[in-house]
């Protein structure tokens, strides 16, 4: 039970985090001395000095995907979502885990923080740069992200890889068992998804990167897991709590379960479907409902899974399949899965479509479908999440380098962080540098910009080598 004092602090913390995000956004667009920045700083100082005094500081800490104020998690409304999300990503980029603001904060303290923050964004050792620049400032103290301090980068990647492939293996096992008429316990599925949710909250970019590794031979199982991961990531953007995220991940994992009843020779057909075959394929949502309602341990989640399995091809405007005479508004989970399902399907190689679309081309097609097949608001959140150039996209830069999109930027959607994998001389780099496309030279010009996206298959580039 939190005290009255803690409740008041948390209420103020929401506004403080939101305002800090506004300051940093403005500082990345304008000079830190610009009136838009200085006005934002004044408002921030009013807020921060209300919740601190001579005996009490305000400690803002990032743990996973959430901010904690004086060790209590700060919840936020939908209107603050984008600013909170932006600040989480910017803290992670700079390896900042904790910022402590003492009473009596002055504008010059915040100006120094801004300069250090901006410099950290262009440094190969961001936290060290920020820490050094902030050392003269007495009223603001920065601390490094715990996971980085503990130095488990490679181990973390191994864990994420294991979590992902455990989920793929489970998805394959579930479909095999159901096809053989065996019972499947939904509790194990819940444990798998809970693990994915935990790791997504801690290491979102790593787990999202795994969805970019498309396996043609195991498409059905990878697709199910990818849709689950991307759905949970989108749900997190919408402010869902951990229980809702787990439920969403579960229903997304089972959305295509009805395909087990489609004959293998049709599902793996290398040419286009005939009318009769397509009619058969379009029955998989109904078959999915039947399969899910036969699961052992039938509960609310299983029922909701059945709803999503039925609705995920109905489309936002109900123009899809199965055909229905009357239908209420689609379930929120169905609308989320519909967006994610289309994106992953279009960017994956399948039997009848060996060359996948590039992520930006897929998003362009989806934009045309927004408001018709896709919920327009959810699509906006999705594009904000993956960026114009999603993680795993291969891009050519104006410096004649080839890069792999490593992390998206929530403010500059066309300027992600990119891992250089081919240098200006055409030399392949297995462990190239990760650069921010927001970086500018001394004249204020961008050092690198994307010219176009490329097909990694054409250049015989295996994404797994870099993303794993």
pLDDT digits (tens, 9 = 90+) for 32-52: 788 988 999 999 998 888 877
Nearest alpha carbon to residue 223 among 349, 49, 138: 349
* Beta strands per DSSP E along 50-157: 58-63, 66-69, 72-73, 96-101, 140-144
Average pLDDT, rounded, for the chain = 84
* Alpha-carbon span 249 to 232, nearest angstrom: 6
Residue 467 has pLDDT above 70, yes or no: no
- Exposure letters 359-377 (e unless 16+ CB within 10 A, then b): bbebbeebeebbeebbbee
Question: 320 — phi, psi (to 5°)?
Answer: -90, -145
Give the CA dihedral 148, 385, 82, 446, nearest 10 degrees.
Answer: 80
Q: Take residue 197 and report the two structure tokens written for it.
A: 């949710």
Q: Are strands 417-422 and 140-144 parallel, antiparallel or unpaired?
A: unpaired
The burial class, CB within 10 Å (0-12 / 13-18 / 19+), for 142 is: buried
At the topology level, CATH places domain 153-386 in Hypothetical protein af1432 (1.10.3210)
* Alpha-carbon span 254 to 250, nearest angstrom: 7
Cα 147–chain centre separation: 19
pLDDT, position 149:
44
For residues 404-411, average pLDDT: 77
Using alpha carbons, list the distances in angstroms from residue 347 to 158, 372, 374, 386: 24, 20, 17, 13
pLDDT, position 147:
58
- Longest CA span, the chain: 77
Cα 440–chain centre separation: 26
- The structure tokens 């169905």 sit at 334
Residue 70 has pLDDT above 70, yes or no: yes
Nearest alpha carbon to residue 340 among 253, 281, 259: 253
pLDDT digits (tens, 9 = 90+) for 83-130: 888 888 889 889 899 999 988 889 999 999 999 999 998 888 889 999
Cβ–Cβ < 8 Å for 390, 408: yes
Domain range list for the chain = 4-149, 153-386, 394-467
Say which residue, 271 or 332, is predicted with more confidence.
332
- Walk across the sheet containing 394-397 and list its strands: 434-436, 417-422, 402-407, 394-397, 450-454
For residues 170-188, average pLDDT: 80
* Alpha-carbon span 65 to 230, nearest angstrom: 15
* Beta strands per DSSP E along 347-441: 394-397, 402-407, 417-422, 434-436
Residue 150 has pLDDT above 50, yes or no: no
How many C-beta neighbours within 10 Å does residue 440 have?
A: 11
- Reported as a pLDDT band with limits 50, 70 and 90, residue 7 is low
pLDDT digits (tens, 9 = 90+) for 242-283: 889 999 999 999 999 999 888 888 877 777 788 999 999 999
* Beta strands per DSSP E along 138-187: 140-144
The burial class, CB within 10 Å (0-12 / 13-18 / 19+), for 48 is: buried
């Amino acid at each position: 039970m939190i005290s009255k004092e803690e409740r008041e602090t948390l209420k103020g913390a929401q506004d403080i985090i939101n305002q800090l995000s506004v300051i940093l956004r403005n500082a990345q667009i304008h000079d830190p001395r610009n009136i838009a920045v200085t006005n934002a700083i004044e408002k921030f100082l009013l807020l921060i000095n209300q919740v601190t005094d001579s005996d009490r500081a305000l400690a803002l800490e990032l743990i996973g995907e959430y901010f904690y104020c004086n060790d209590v998690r700060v919840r936020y409304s939908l209107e603050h979502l984008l600013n909170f999300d932006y600040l989480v990503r910017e803290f992670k980029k700079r390896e900042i885990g904790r910022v402590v603001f003492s009473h009596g904060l002055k504008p010059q303290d915040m100006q120094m923080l801004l300069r250090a923050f901006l410099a950290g964004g262009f440094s190969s050792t961001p936290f060290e740069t920020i820490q050094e620049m902030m050392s003269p400032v007495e009223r603001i103290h920065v601390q490094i992200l715990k996971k980085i301090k503990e130095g488990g980068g490679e181990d973390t990647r191994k864990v994420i890889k294991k979590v992902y492939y455990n989920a793929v293996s489970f998805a394959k096992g579930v479909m095999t068992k159901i096809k053989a008429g065996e019972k499947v316990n939904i509790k194990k599925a819940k444990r798998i998804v809970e693990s994915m949710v935990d790791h997504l909250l801690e290491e979102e970019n790593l787990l999202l990167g795994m969805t970019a590794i498309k396996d043609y031979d195991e498409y059905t199982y990878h697709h199910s897991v990818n849709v689950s991961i991307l759905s949970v990531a989108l749900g997190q953007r919408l402010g869902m709590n951990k229980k809702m995220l787990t439920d969403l991940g579960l229903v997304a994992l089972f959305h295509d379960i009805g395909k087990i009843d489609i004959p293998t020779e049709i599902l793996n057909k290398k040419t286009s479907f005939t009318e009769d075959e397509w009619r058969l394929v379009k029955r998989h949502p109904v078959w999915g409902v039947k399969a899910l309602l036969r699961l052992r341990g039938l509960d609310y989640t299983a029922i909701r899974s059945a709803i999503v399995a039925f609705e995920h091809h109905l489309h936002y405007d109900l123009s899809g399949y199965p055909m229905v005479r009357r239908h209420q508004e689609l379930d929120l989970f169905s609308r989320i899965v519909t967006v994610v399902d289309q994106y992953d399907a279009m960017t994956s190689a399948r039997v009848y479509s060996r060359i996948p679309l590039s992520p930006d081309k897929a998003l362009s097609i989806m934009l045309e479908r927004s408001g018709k097949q896709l919920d327009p608001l959810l699509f906006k959140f999705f594009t904000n999440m993956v960026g114009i150039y999603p993680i795993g996209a291969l891009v050519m830069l104006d410096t004649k380098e080839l890069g792999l999109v490593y992390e998206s930027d929530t403010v500059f959607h066309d300027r992600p962080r990119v891992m250089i994998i081919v240098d200006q001389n055409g030399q392949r780099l297995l462990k190239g540098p990760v650069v921010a496309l927001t970086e500018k030279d001394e004249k204020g010009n961008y050092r690198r910009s994307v010219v176009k996206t490329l097909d990694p298959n054409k250049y015989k580039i295996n994404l797994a080598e870099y993303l794993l």
